[in-house]
Amino acid sequence: MIKLQLLLKTAFHNDVKVNQFNNQLEICFRHFNKEDQVEPLMKNPSKLKPFTMLELMQTTVDTLMGHELNRQFAELKDCEIKNGSSYSLIDVYERCQL
């Protein structure tokens, strides 16, 4: 059996909120040695168009579904994937300490 341990950081949307004045999504970037920085959440790569909450949540669903498919594929191939993150919303993999 092949074993794979991952650090999975998928809680970025916890740092997103809707600006209650203009309805634009804003993301808070947290830095250990700087003050938090809040800016509009824009789409890549050009960052010219803002995300909507629907688009952000759909991206989150797609990401979580992708992890479920990875887990199923790993099981078919007799592999094991474990989540070694200290905090993650991905619950399809068994947790482990790295």
Q: What is the pLDDT of residue 8?
A: 60
| Digit-coded pLDDT (tens) for 45-78 | 899 999 999 999 998 899 899 999 999 999 999 9
CA–CA gap between residue 79 and residue 94 (Å, rounded): 12
Of 4-8, 14-18, 65-69, 85-89, the poorest mean pLDDT is in: 4-8
**Non-local CB neighbours of 74 within 8 Å, separated by 6+ positions:** 4, 80, 81
| Digit-coded pLDDT (tens) for 20-49 | 999 999 999 888 899 999 999 999 889 999
Q: Is the pLDDT of residue 7 over 70?
A: no
The parent domain of residue 61 ranges over: 2-95
The number of distinct structural domains making up the chain is 1
Look up residue 93 and give its two tokens: 């993999």
**For residue 45, cis peptide bond before it (omega within 30 degrees of 0):** yes
**Non-local CB neighbours of 33 within 8 Å, separated by 6+ positions:** none
**Non-local CB neighbours of 63 within 8 Å, separated by 6+ positions:** 10
